[in-house]
Structures are given as C-alpha cells and as structure tokens.
Amino acid sequence: MKRLSLTARLSLMFMLAVSGVLGAAGVFFHQLSQHHFDDLDRQTLEEKLHASRELLQTLDDLSGFDRLQPQLQALLGGHSDLSVRIVDAQGQVRFAARGGASLPGGHAHAVQPASGGPRVWRHRAEVMMVAGQPLSVELALDVTTHRLFFRTLTGWLWGAWLLCVLGSGVLGWLLARSGLRPLREVTQVAASVSAKSLTERIPAESVPAELRQLVLAFNAMLARLEEAFVRLSNFSADIAHELRTPVSNLMTHTEVVLTRARSREEYQETLYSNLEELRRMARMIDDMLFLAKADNGLITPETGLIDLRALCEQLIEFYQMTADDRGVQIQLTGAASLQGDAAMLHRALSNLLSNALRYTPDGGVIRVVIEAGDAGVALSVGNPGATIPAQHLPRLFDRFYRVDPARREGSPNNAGLGLAITRSIIEAHRGEISCSSQDGWTDFKILFRAGG
C-alpha cells in the first residue's frame, strides 16, 4: 500500500482541522440562531396569553364576554401568524381569530396540513377561571417561515462548509509544499552527493528553525565524510608509496643477481637482503591490520593491574645501550598503577621512546614523567630537538605522516605508523594523547582518565 507523502499528510491534517473548526462553528451558530428564534416565539405566546388573562379577569360574568370582542380582536387578531381560540366549559367557542377553529391541538410543534404545504405551529394553552367558570385559551403561532429559513440556512452552511473544506485542502497543500521546500533541497543535495561533490553544503541561514538542526547535522555529516574520504585517499596513496620501495628493492636485487652467475656467498647475501625487505613489509602489513581493527573497534585490551614505572624501566633498559652510544640520558620520575593491557601499552610507550631517541641530539636528555592525580594517571615523554611547527602538530598521529615531506622513505624500520598505532592503543584504553613543541622541546602527553 502506497503511503501518503508528507505534503499530502500536512495538507490533509490542515483540511481536517479547518473543516472541524468551521463545522463546529456552523453547528453552534445554527443552534444559537434556532434557540434565539424559539425564545422569541415563546415570548410572543407568553405575552399574548398574559394579556388575554389580564383582559378576561376584568369580567364579572361570562354574559358580558361579547363586549370584550373588539378588545380581544385588537389584542389577538392583529398578528398574521397567530391563531387564537377561547372555549368555555360547554365547548362553545367564545372567540376565534385567524382560523382559530382549525387550531392544532394539544402539542407544541404540531403539524397541520394546509394549502401550500405543511405548516409548523408552536402551541400554548391555559385554562383560567373567569367569574367562577373555566375558560380555555388556546394560542398557536405559525413558525413555518422560521423553519423554512433554518432549512435554507442549513443548506447555505453546508455549501459554505464544503467550499471552505476544499479551499483549505488546496491552501494547505500550497502551504505545506512551500514550507517543505528546504527539506526538498536537503533531499536534492543528498541525492547529488558523490565522492566528487562532498564539498557541497546546504545554507542554513534560509531554512526554518525546525529544520536548522537537521541541516547543520547533515552538513556536519558531509564534512566528516569529506575528511574520511580525504584521509582514505591519502592513506591509499601512502600505502602504495611505502610498499613500492621494498618491492622495488626486491626486484632490483633479484634482477642484478640474475644478470650473471654468482657464488654461493653472493646468493646468500642477496637472500638475506631480500629477507630484510620482506620483514619490513610484513611489519608494515601487521601495523596496517592493527590500525584497521582499531578503526572498527575490534581492539579489546586485556584488563590487568599494571605498574607503569616498572613498565617504563623495562623499556628504558632496552633502549639504554643505544642511548649510551650517543651519550643520551633517559630520566624517569614518578610512579603510578592503572588497569590495562601490558603488551599493548608496552608497544605504545616503546614507539614514543624510540621516536624520542631518534630525534634527540647527541648528549641530550629524555624525560619520562609519571603523575597520578584526581583526573587520572598522566605520563609524558619529552625530548630536546628541532621545534615542530604548529601546523604539523594536529597531524602527527596520522598514518604515514612526516613533518619533512622530503624524507618520505625514512629509515628502513620506520614506516610512519608508530604514532598512529600509539594513539589507537591509548584510545582503546579510554585515554588521550597530545603533542606540544616549543623552544626546542617536544613533549608527548598521555592521560588515562580515572574510571576509564
């Protein structure tokens, strides 16, 4: 079953609301008008009956009833729609006016056939004592004209109601279509979005307040998609670039060896060289797989109590020989414990220490500081060296990113994924990592929040 469009639903609801209000107003007006005319009719009958009672009470004997005929005629016979009949106890009609002999009897709103169609009457009767004898006064008011008026009024009200319903339906459709124009613009932009048009945005200034949050959310989504697409494109290009170097080296070494016959030692040396390149490619592929799992939330750290100082001491002991060869000192201060995965944190801190050792000049000092506070456990790894420009700091943790584009190849063991892996590990532990660099000092700061 085909569902109604939003425009059709809004216009239908608008039409139903208008028709309901107009219908209720019409019924109220009709009932109020009819009640008003009924009150006027009752008031007319009551006034005539009261006047007749006052006049008849002046009689001392019914033998003098004839002398009241002119007064009764003047009082009751001047109303064109009023019929009157006064009957004594013996059933004799003492006075009749306007066809009173054919008065409808007994019930209000009685219908009496007459020429020109049925007539509608409003009846009022009273028995009063005059000179000790009962007299029955019956009055009937012809309200046929009123009923015809209300019948005509009802027809006009129904006609006007139908016209208003149709008009409100058309007007509601136009208003809904005009009001939903920004939503159609959102739909058009969404339909036109592709990899080449992610820069398009919907102007939020011209949309209604109810749709502004939707437009802002949609624009933010496009911005995130654009950023993700750019990063994916750059990542793909970087992967191709980084893998091209070891593959080229393998091909070159193999082609050179195959140009002529070699000794057994030369073949072994070539195979060892190729093995180093293959190991480098294997490490790079492992790192990329780790990052892919981290991006999809598939990295679940094991939980255990870790002595952060002991972990750092193990790493410092591992890098101490390399540091001693260059006269670099590694200083460790502070101590703290936290819940986490020891192997993953070992890898993350190893990346930071190796990175600090790589860029620290000979004779420099690397400082590792551990602090425990109310906010959580903080760890920083700082080293002297060239100041990193501020525009590069936000991108240091991007994959394959290097501050110096001219050094794309880096070291044979450095593929540019270490800091990206470190950030993924820290975030998997509900932590945060940042970098600051000024006045020849670079500091990587990690915060493991309390309860994280």
The pLDDT, as a whole number, for residue 122 is: 76
Which of 143, 171, 199 lies at the terminal end of a domain, its last residue?
A: 171
Which of 295, 316, 340 lies at the terminal end of a domain, its last residue?
A: 295
- Looking at the structure, do residues 375 and 334 belong to the same domain, yes or no? yes
| pLDDT of 421 higher than 60 | yes
Q: How far apart are CA 428 and CA 430, in angstroms?
A: 5
- Looking at the structure, do residues 111 and 62 belong to the same domain, yes or no? yes
Q: Please report whether residue 326 resides in a domain.
A: yes
Q: How far apart are CA 73 and CA 86, in angstroms?
A: 12
The pLDDT, as a whole number, for residue 188 is: 77
- Looking at the structure, do residues 115 and 161 belong to the same domain, yes or no? yes
Q: CA 207 from chain center: how many Å?
A: 15
Q: Please report whether residue 194 resides in a domain.
A: no
- Residue 168 CB neighbour total at 10 angstroms: 20
- Looking at the structure, do residues 86 and 150 belong to the same domain, yes or no? yes
Q: Please report whether residue 203 resides in a domain.
A: no
Q: What is the CATH number of the domain that holds 263?
A: 1.10.287.130
pLDDT digit string, tens, across residues 384-395? 988 888 888 888
| pLDDT (average), residues 340-353 | 89
Domain total of the chain: 3
The pLDDT, as a whole number, for residue 72 is: 79
The pLDDT, as a whole number, for residue 366 is: 94
Residue-wise DSSP of 1-61: -PPPPHHHHHHHHHHHHHHHHHHHHHHHHHHHHHHHHHHHHHHHHHHHHHHHHHHHTT-SS
CA dihedral defined by 103, 105, 111, 113, rounded to 10 degrees?
A: -50
Least Cα distance to 353 among 306, 419, 293, 400 occurs for 419
Q: Please report whether residue 284 resides in a domain.
A: yes
- Looking at the structure, do residues 217 and 341 belong to the same domain, yes or no? no
Tokens describing residue 186: 């959102």
Q: What is the CATH number of the domain that holds 366?
A: 3.30.565.10
pLDDT digit string, tens, across residues 9-53? 888 888 888 889 988 998 888 888 888 888 888 888 888 888 888
Q: Please report whether residue 187 resides in a domain.
A: no
Q: Please report whether residue 1 resides in a domain.
A: no
Tokens describing residue 49: 């009956």
- Looking at the structure, do residues 134 and 25 belong to the same domain, yes or no? yes
Confidence of residue 405 (pLDDT cuts 50, 70, 90): low
Residue-wise DSSP of 307-324: EHHHHHHHHHHHHHHHHH
The pLDDT, as a whole number, for residue 424 is: 86
| pLDDT (average), residues 210-222 | 81
Q: How far apart are CA 224 and CA 232, in angstroms?
A: 12
Torsions phi, psi for 281 (to 5 deg): -65, -40
The pLDDT, as a whole number, for residue 246 is: 75
The pLDDT, as a whole number, for residue 335 is: 92
Indicate if the alpha-carbon torsion angle 103, 109, 113, 117 is positive or negative: positive
- Looking at the structure, do residues 257 and 219 belong to the same domain, yes or no? yes
Q: Which domain range does residue 71 map to?
A: 6-171
| pLDDT (average), residues 326-338 | 92
- Looking at the structure, do residues 330 and 371 belong to the same domain, yes or no? yes
pLDDT digit string, tens, across residues 85-143? 888 878 788 888 874 444 554 433 333 434 445 677 777 777 877 767 788 888 888 88
Could you tell me the CA-to-CA distances from 257 to 246, 249, 392 in Å, in that order?
16, 12, 42
State the amino acid at position 282 in one-letter form. A
Q: What is the CATH number of the domain that holds 72?
A: 3.30.450
Q: Please report whether residue 49 resides in a domain.
A: yes
Q: Which residue(s) pair with 119 in the sheet?
A: 112
- Looking at the structure, do residues 21 and 161 belong to the same domain, yes or no? yes
- Looking at the structure, do residues 442 and 314 belong to the same domain, yes or no? yes
Q: Please report whether residue 64 resides in a domain.
A: yes
pLDDT digit string, tens, across residues 225-241? 887 777 777 667 767 76
- Looking at the structure, do residues 250 and 359 belong to the same domain, yes or no? no
Least Cα distance to 99 among 117, 127, 119 occurs for 119
- Looking at the structure, do residues 220 and 329 belong to the same domain, yes or no? no
Which of 250, 265, 295 lies at the terminal end of a domain, its last residue?
A: 295
Pairing status of strand 329-333 against strand 365-373: parallel
List CB contacts of 446: < 8 A, sequence separation 6 or more. Answer: 378, 379, 380, 426, 431, 432, 433
Residue 368 has, within 13 A of its CA and on its CB side, a CA count of 22
